[in-house]
Amino acid sequence: MSYPGSYSQYYLTSGNACSGAGTPFMTWGSGVRVCSDVRLSAPVVTTLSGPTSVRGLCQKQGDTVNAEGCANNWWSKLRDQNGFISNIYIDHPAALLPGVPLC
């Protein structure tokens, strides 16, 4: 099925929140793993050596991660690292990050 001529590709956007500029945040900690999925057992895509500027595209619930006496089961898909980071390593007090849609 094709779209009517009045629809321009310019106005079509992804409905799954997996593209775009993303919402900027800083991470904290060192050796933070970015995984291919929201599971602790998922393959590691990359490791962040220290605080890093990242852009969250979307977020979803997954395995619970514990750090510094806190726990969080929300993860964000990162634009530039092409993987998921536990929101516990995002330098923001909320478990669910503002301005980042659900995946």
pLDDT tens column, 11-54: 333 444 455 789 999 999 999 999 999 999 999 999 999 999 99
Question: Domain containing 62 — which CATH number?
Answer: 2.30.30
Residue 95 to residue 56: CA distance in whole angstroms: 13
Asked if residue 10 belongs to a domain, the reply is: no
Asked if residue 14 belongs to a domain, the reply is: no
Using alpha carbons only, give the angle 9, 24, 54 rounded to the nearest 5 degrees.
100
Asked if residue 53 belongs to a domain, the reply is: yes
Stretch 67-83: mean pLDDT: 95
Asked if residue 31 belongs to a domain, the reply is: yes
The whole-model pTM stands at 0.80
Q: Which domain holds residue 42?
A: 24-103
Q: Pinpoint the alpha helices (H) of 1-103.
A: none
Per-residue model confidence (pLDDT) at position 12: 36
Asked if residue 5 belongs to a domain, the reply is: no
Under DSSP, the state recorded for 88 is G
Per-residue model confidence (pLDDT) at position 19: 57
Count of structural domains, the chain: 1
